[in-house]
Structures are given as structure tokens and as C-alpha cells.
Amino acid sequence: MPKDIYTNGKPNTTTGRPKQRYTALTGLVFICFFISILAVSAVILAGFGSRWGWWHFRTGLAILKYSGYASLVAAGLSLLGCVWSGFIGARLSFAIALIGLLITLPVAGTLWQWKIKAQTVPRIHDITTDTENPPSFKAILPMRRDALNPSDYGGREIAAQQRAGYPDIGPLALTVSPDKVFQRAVSAAVNMGWQIIDANQAEGRIEATDTTYWFGFKDDIVVRIISEGAGSRIDIRSVSRVGISDVGTNARRIQKFLKKVG
């Protein structure tokens, strides 16, 4: 074996096969790093591009889907690069591969969790605390004129899916007068960043719109407050304007709101 291949028992990176290994490895990790940056950027822009009107939200969801797959591939290749560079002692390549892995792994992991979540929650977008007599919209109806999802409640089928998926969602009973509860409810809605469309204390009705940060999806909410016994009862309904499944967004919104009011 030529002596210049190894120096003091270590690979000589200036000549021979070790240099070829380093060159191939460096090329691989840089390609992985580029794919990582590209995939993560696409994931971020998938939502904001929809919010800013660059493309239809369905296009944004498609971009999200395929950039998620790209993130998984980039994470796997970056892991391979880490193992390979660690094995032959290429510190720079290891550092680049590790950065690529740290960039893509959280994104790929988060998207995978969302995918699992979407498969475990009901494929519905209309959640209410009262499935027998859900609160109805009034002031928001003109704003939902072009919405893909109807404002009318879906009936028994939707109610059955909600009870199976979110059995803990129900009305909130408080030993406080409706007037005081109404003020609490308005404060909670404002605190959660909702756009108040109508707050009619005489009717005990609050209507609002919540816009999601990333994709800019608009979900409409109606709160109904009535007198019950010596206190009050609060019912709330949250409905997405677009999409078949809300991946649990409306249910989480209702739970958070009731917790703030209660």
C-alpha cells in the first residue's frame, strides 16, 4: 500500500481514496443541506403564500404535503451524512450534515404529528357545545356568503362524530348573572385575538371571526348566553369557512374560550 495514503495511521486527505471519499461526502452533505433549506422554506411559505394570496389554499396544502416528504428525505440523508462523516472523521462534513438534520427533523416531525392527528380526529369542521340546538349565526351570515362550508348545522351525523371525537365538549354553567358572563365572554374573545363582528348583550349573543396565523383560514364563532336557574349557561359554536377537516382547531378554540370564561 502506498505510504502517502496514510500518515501516522490516519487517512491522508490530499491523495488517494480518502480524498475521493471526502469529496463525495462533502458533495452529499451540501446537497442535503440545500434540500433541507429548500424544504423548510417551502413548508413555511406554503401557509403564508396562501394567507398573502399568492396561491389558492389547496395549492398551499399540496406544497405543504410534498415539502413535508422532502423534509423527511433530507432528514434521512443528513443522518446518513452524519454517520458517514463521523465514521471517517470529516468534521466539517459532520457539522454541515448535523445542521441539516437539526433544521429538517423538527419540521418533518411536526408535520408527521399533524398527519397522525388528522387521522385520529373526526373529519368535521363544525363544533358546538349544543348539538341539539346549536347557536346560529346572524350578523356573520353576509360574510359567509362565499364560504365553501355552509353556516347551517349538519345535523345528527355531525353531532355523532363530534360526540365520538370530543366527548368532553359541552355547555358551561356558571353561578353568575348573564350580564356579567357576557362581559367575561367579550373580554375572553378579545384576549384570544378574535375580530368581534357583533356583541348583542340584549340577545346574549356574540359573533366573531378568528383568523389562523399561518394559512390565514377564517373560522366563525357564535356565543350564546342565557339565564339558567340562579346563574347562566354558555354555548358556543365554531365553524370553518373552508376545508372538510379542521384537524381539531375548532374544538381546541372552544375549550380554550370556555376555560377563560369559567
- Name the residue with cell 388528522: 118
pLDDT on residue 29: 82
pLDDT on residue 20: 52
Task: Name the β-bridge partners of 233.
Answer: 173, 226
Rounded to the nearest 10 degrees, the angle between the axes of helix 57-88 and helix 16-51 is 160
| Element (DSSP H or E) covering residue 49 | helix 16-51
Coil vs helix vs strand at 230: coil
Q: What is the pTM (predicted TM-score) of this model? A: 0.82
Total Cβ atoms within 10 A of residue 58: 11
Rounded to the nearest integer, the mean pLDDT of the chain is: 89
**All residues at 6 or more sequence positions from 47 whose CB lies less than 8 Å from its CB, including other chains:** 60, 64, 214, 215, 216
* Cα angle value 94/99/101 (rounded, 5°): 95
CATH number for the domain whose boundaries are 126-261:
3.30.530.50
Each domain of the chain, given as residue ranges in start order, spans 3-120, 126-261
pLDDT on residue 14: 46
Rounded to the nearest 10 degrees, the angle between the axes of helix 57-88 and helix 91-120 is 140
Instruction: Identify the band that residue 89 occupies on the pLDDT scale cut at 50, 70 and 90.
Output: confident
Task: Quick: pLDDT tens for 144-186.
Answer: 999 999 999 999 999 999 999 999 999 999 999 999 999 999 9
pLDDT greater than 80 at residue 4:
no
More confident residue, 77 or 143: 143
Task: Quick: pLDDT tens for 110-144.
Answer: 888 888 988 899 999 999 999 999 999 999 999 99
Q: State how far the Cα of 239 lies from the Cα of 243, in Å rounded to an integer.
A: 10
Cell of 231: 346563574
Q: Where are the beta strands (DSSP E) in 45-160?
A: 126-128
